[in-house]
Amino acid sequence: MNAVDTSAAEAFEHLLFPTIFGPWSRALVDHAGVSAGERVLDIGCGTGAAARYAAEIVGDSGRVVATDINEGMIACARNLDDAAAVEWGLDNVENLAHEDGSFDVVVGNQVLQFLPDRPKALAEIRRVLAPRGRLALSVYCSLDLCPAHGAVAKALESHDVDPSGIQVPYSFGDPMAFGDTLQEAGFGDISVVRKTLESRFASPDKFVEALAAGGPSARHALEQLDEGGLKDVIEQVSRTLAYYVDEDGLRVLTAANMALARN
């Protein structure tokens, strides 16, 4: 049996978890109001930041299950869970391998915008949620509200590289459309709020290098550049983001719409 390649997942965990995805995952679990003893499902879990945090909250009387379609992410997540506090598994949100009403809470950090069949996925989430169970989702706002990532997308375009790897995560940023999608799926008591978090990187070049090494979407776009092209992109991004650089490094602002709904 071939070993699972976890190098991209490990780079993601090392470079982007402490700065961006970890804080957002904790914010989402808090937004869901997870409490002791609850049964929680983390969809599209990546390396498991939200699931590990939820496991701390639910304790031994609760249950946390975390799933992703990326085998490398799940393998890395399992390796990080020394206490075996989370049940990890490969799964597709559009066809979840769980019984009806299995969970009190479902959370998904930056998942909805990537799903090819949102109605089917949301129907599956409703199926596995208990009556009056809660769904908490976060989706990035548009790129104009996330200036560092927007600068990378513009730099890629200027070098004739398809920037969709940067753009897709920010492609479902309309809060009204977000709420309407959940309502059409049958959820109720829907609220959508915008939250902005600030992360720090040592410099613009370290930010671009982090995306190139561990960004789940961005790395595929940045991989199309040769060494000289990557250097040019970094220089362009550095000029664009000069306003956000101070003695503590680069301020990276990410804004997301956070939804909470009941089954």
Tens-place pLDDT, residues 109-163: 999 999 999 999 999 999 999 999 999 999 999 999 999 999 999 999 998 888 8
Return d(Cα 145, Cα 140) in angstroms, integer.
Answer: 9
The CATH code for residues 7-262 is 3.40.50.150
Q: What is the DSSP letter of 76?
A: H
Closest alpha carbon to 32 in 116, 146, 138, 156: 138
The 10s digit of each residue's pLDDT in 204-262 is 999 999 998 888 778 888 888 888 989 999 999 999 999 999 999 999 999 999 999 99
Through-space distance between the first and last CA atoms of the chain, rounded to whole angstroms: 41
* pTM confidence score: 0.94
Q: What is the pLDDT of residue 1?
A: 47
